[in-house]
């Protein structure tokens, strides 16, 4: 559903600038996953230039081709071949021009270091471009650089933004400064969906620095010269609200309905049923949402952090009453948000404040606002039942996933299956299964989150696989391998076992657990080693991970993403739970929503990137985070005998489970 198939135009993809510099254009967005670097690598290779000559424009809606959004770890997978083809076509066109200019056949010409060379001549790209930019429809097939001439793709390359980040020069959204820019602060209702009954802004308007108190519908905010002035005035606005409970939708989606599941379950010599529970959790970016809006009479310019710039353009256009073409969205470097930036809240609010005050406005949410008003990962209750045959193989599988919506994209069953139902169908083969997705209502605002529901489903499935193995006295690794048919899947599982020396069991209060999955065609297997104290405290000691993401553009970037996914998932698993009442989030800061710190980081996370180079590239932003919870829970069981079916694995829960 996120693929595009219309023919592409060169001028929307690759520009040779008058000075010979290369600009590559993509609607995808960088938020720490390293795509700017990966795209620069690909384009530098095809155009035969040093990578420093390539700049990558991401998401500027006035410049880049339409893009649905940056989701599902598919940015590199989807864009890499398109950009490669566009850059190869640009090279083709440059050679064509040189051929005409020099009167030499194409076969006598080649490229080197940003120039076309041949017949003893050397024509720089700048010269070939002249005053005529390259343009045209990119043909279906274009000859690309042979592998042996690619200098960058497949090799580790330092992130192109790295120097700006370490020196503080990188400008995140909240670092944008425009002439005449004022600051915004919102007046928040007691709960989402509340309607404004009355408003008294007399006192607020008289406060120092206040430019305007702005109201549009049920959105109220203050614009002032300085941020602290805007916040003080927002607190002085007297608003009365009429609270209306908002409930999420309900749906029932059969995802798989093989025959004979019930009969086989009834007839199985060994049956096991368990329920796993995961709480809602927060995206919890370190940088809260921010946006800068500059809304003038006939146009608007938006500086935002977003995963879908064209979506923000549409929403802002509607909000301020301008045609889409009069709205330009300029995505900025943004704090990692792990799915949360698919919502345009801050952008819409900033646009309303700018329109209402006639000034460019920077709106920076507070930490408390970020926890309270952001969408969260839904909770999940996963019920699994399976039967084993006399030979110890699974003969039937029944799975009921109860969760809330993961996206605002509606209730189309096809959408629900790939969002809330992601990875609900086990990656194992050889038995009939019935998998049912139950979308249940919630007052909590839930939405896209890293890996959608895969982390929850794989926690349940991979914990249960361990439980099935234990119940039938089988070794957990061998039990998994008995149910794997896919060669690439088998390979990552066997490799991780080999690399960690799986059969050497750690001593003392330590244990190891394994978990694996196939996430959107990325194969990933992990082993976690934990130490469980007598009081039930779990310390993650080490993690090994083997990942097969197909062809790999930047292996170092892949490693970094996978490591980060594991570290973040370990934090979800060991520490995190969002508390809410009547749709309002009760955690307001890092003291009430602790996440893993430097002290909690494991001694090592060893990631082995072993991509099948004959397979197309797949995503790596999400899969690392998917198996970690089960690997940890399985390791806790191996270390202490305590089987934890509820996340997070707090000390109290582990202690109770050890006692029982």
- The strand pair at 219-224 and 182-187 is best described as antiparallel
Q: Between residues 403 and 571, which has the closer beta carbon with respect to another protein?
A: 571
User: Token pair for residue 41?
Assistant: 């690598």
CA atoms within a 13 Å half-sphere pointing along the CA-CB vector of 248: 26
Choice between 285 and 583, CB closer to another protein: 285
Nearest to another protein of 435, 553 (CB atom): 553
Distance (Å, rounded) from C-alpha 2 to C-alpha 119? 46
Long-range Cβ contact pairs of 643-648 (< 8 A, separation 24 or more): 643/463, 643/467, 645/274, 645/275, 645/276, 645/277, 645/463, 646/276, 646/277, 646/278, 647/277, 647/278, 647/279, 647/459, 647/572, 647/573, 648/279, 648/572, 648/573, 648/574, 648/575, 648/576, 648/577
Closer to another protein by Cβ: residue 30 or 48 = 30
Cβ partners under 8 Å of residue 350, min gap 6: 184, 291, 292, 293, 302, 361, 362, 363
Pick between residue 78 and residue 561 the one whose CB is nearest to another protein. 561
Instruction: List 276's β-bridge partners, or say none.
Output: 382
Q: Which is nearer to another protein, 59 or 565 (CB)?
A: 565
Of the pair 86, 304, the CB lying nearest another protein is at 304
**Structure-token match 């120092």, residue found:** 208
Measured between alpha carbons, how far is 286 from 424 in angstroms, rounded to an integer? 30
Measured distance CA(120)–CA(52) in Å, rounded = 26
Which residue is associated with the tokens 């969906």? 193
Q: From 11, 13, 36, 35, select the one nearest 24 (Cα to Cα).
A: 13
Query: How would you write 582-613 as a 3-class SS string?
Result: CCEECCCCCCCCCCCCCCCCCCEEEEEECCCC
Closest contact distance (angstroms) between CB of 48 and another protein is 26
CA dist 263 and 222 (Å) reads 64
- Taking the complex as a whole, the smallest distance from the CB of residue 519 to another protein amounts, in Å, to 17
The distance of closest approach from Cβ of residue 644 to another protein in the complex, given in angstroms and rounded to an integer, is 22
Beta strands 538-548; 604-609: pairing state: parallel
**Residue of 420, 416, 340, 419 lying closest to 375 (CA atoms):** 340
CB 185, min distance to another protein, A: 13
**Closest distance to another protein from the beta carbon of 279 (Å):** 18
Q: Which is nearer to another protein, 227 or 467 (CB)?
A: 227
- For 429-554, strand residue ranges (E) read 433-439, 510-519, 522-532, 538-548
CB of 576 to another protein, least distance (A): 11
Q: Name which of 224 and 424 has its Cβ closer to another protein.
A: 224
Return the percent helix, strand and coil in the chain, to nearest 5.
30, 25, 40
Choose between 421 and 557: whose C-beta lies nearer to another protein.
557
Q: Under a CB-based contact definition with an 8 Å cutoff, are residues 439 and 407 in contact?
A: no
Q: Do 382 and 472 meet the contact criterion of CB atoms below 8 Å apart?
A: no
Least spacing, CB of residue 309 vs another protein, in Å: 17
Residue with tokens 């406005």: 361
Q: Which strand (E) or helix (H) includes residue 407? A: none
Binding residues for another protein, rule: CB under 8 A, are 31-34, 158-159, 161-163, 165-172, 174-175, 177, 208, 226-229, 284-288, 333-336, 338, 364, 366-367, 556-557, 560-561, 563-568, 571, 589-591, 595-602, 604-605
Q: Find tokens 């082993």 and name the residue.
A: 527
In angstroms, rounded to a whole number, what is the distance separating the alpha carbons of residues 328 and 342? 17
Least distance CB 596 / another protein (angstroms): 8
List phi, psi (to 5°) of 606. -100, 115
The CA distance from 475 to 428, in Å, is 16
């Amino acid at each position: 559903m996120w693929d595009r198939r219309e023919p592409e135009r060169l001028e929307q993809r690759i520009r040779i600038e008058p000075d010979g510099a290369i600009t590559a254009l993509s609607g995808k967005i960088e938020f720490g996953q390293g795509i700017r670097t990966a795209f620069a690598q690909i384009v530098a290779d095809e155009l035969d230039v040093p990578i420093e000559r390539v700049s990558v424009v991401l998401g500027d809606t006035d410049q880049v081709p339409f893009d649905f959004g940056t989701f599902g770890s598919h940015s590199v997978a989807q864009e890499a071949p398109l950009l490669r083809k566009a850059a190869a076509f640009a090279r083709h066109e440059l050679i064509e021009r040189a051929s005409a200019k020099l009167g030499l056949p194409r076969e006598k010409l080649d490229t080197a270091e940003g120039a076309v060379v041949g017949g003893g001549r050397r024509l720089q790209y700048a010269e070939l471009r002249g005053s005529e930019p390259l343009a045209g429809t990119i043909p279906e097939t274009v000859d690309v650089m042979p592998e042996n001439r690619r200098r960058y793709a497949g090799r580790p390359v330092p992130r192109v933004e790295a120097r700006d980040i370490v020196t503080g020069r990188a400008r995140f959204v909240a670092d944008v400064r425009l002439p005449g820019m004022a600051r915004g602060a919102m007046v928040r209702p007691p709960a989402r969906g509340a309607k404004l009954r009355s408003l008294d802004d007399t006192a607020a308007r008289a406060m120092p620095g206040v430019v305007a108190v702005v109201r549009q519908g049920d959105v109220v905010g203050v614009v002032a010269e300085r941020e602290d002035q805007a916040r003080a005035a927002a607190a002085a606005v007297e608003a009365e609200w009429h609270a209306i409970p908002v409930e999420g939708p309900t749906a029932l989606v059969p995802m798989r309905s093989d025959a004979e599941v019930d009969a086989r379950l009834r007839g199985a010599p060994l049956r096991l049923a368990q329920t796993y529970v995961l709480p809602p959790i927060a995206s919890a970016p370190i940088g809260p949402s921010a946006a800068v809006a500059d809304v003038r009479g006939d146009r608007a310019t938006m500086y935002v952090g977003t995963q879908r710039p064209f979506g923000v353009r549409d929403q802002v256009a509607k909000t301020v009453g301008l045609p889409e073409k009069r709205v330009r969205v300029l995505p900025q470097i943004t704090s990692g948000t792990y799915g949360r930036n698919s919502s345009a809240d801050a952008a819409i609010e900033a646009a309303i404040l700018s329109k209402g005050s006639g000034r460019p406005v920077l709106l920076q949410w507070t930490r408390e606002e970020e926890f309270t008003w952001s969408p969260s990962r839904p909770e999940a209750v996963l019920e699994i039942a399976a039967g084993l045959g006399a030979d110890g193989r699974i003969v039937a599988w029944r799975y009921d996933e109860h969760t809330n919506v993961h996206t605002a994209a509606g209730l189309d069953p096809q959408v629900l299956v790939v969002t809330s139902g992601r990875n609900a169908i086990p990656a194992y083969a050889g038995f009939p299964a019935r998998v049912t997705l139950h979308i249940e209502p919630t007052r909590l605002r839930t939405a896209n989150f890293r890996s959608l529901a895969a982390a929850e489903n794989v926690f349940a499935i991979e914990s249960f696989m361990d439980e099935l193995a234990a119940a039938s006295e089988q070794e957990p690794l061998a039990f998994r391998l008995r149910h794997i048919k896919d060669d690439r899947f088998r390979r990552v599982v066997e490799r991780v076992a080999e690399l960690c020396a799986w059969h050497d069991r750690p001593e003392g209060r330590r244990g190891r657990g394994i978990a694996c999955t196939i996430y959107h065609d990325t194969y990933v297997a992990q082993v976690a080693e934990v130490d469980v104290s007598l009081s039930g405290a779990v310390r993650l000691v080490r993690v090994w991970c083997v990942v097969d993401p197909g062809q790999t553009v930047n292996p170092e970037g892949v490693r970094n993403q996978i490591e980060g996914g594991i570290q973040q998932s370990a934090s979800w698993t060991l520490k995190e739970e969002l508390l809410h009442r009547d749709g309002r989030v009760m955690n307001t800061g890092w003291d009430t929503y602790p996440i893993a710190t430097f002290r909690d980081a494991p001694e090592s996370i060893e990631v082995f990137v072993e991509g099948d180079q004959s397979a197309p590239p797949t995503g790596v932003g999400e899969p690392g985070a998917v198996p970690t919870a089960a690997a940890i829970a399985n390791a806790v069981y191996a270390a202490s005998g305590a089987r934890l079916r509820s996340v997070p694995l707090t000390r109290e829960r582990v202690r109770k489970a050890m006692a029982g």
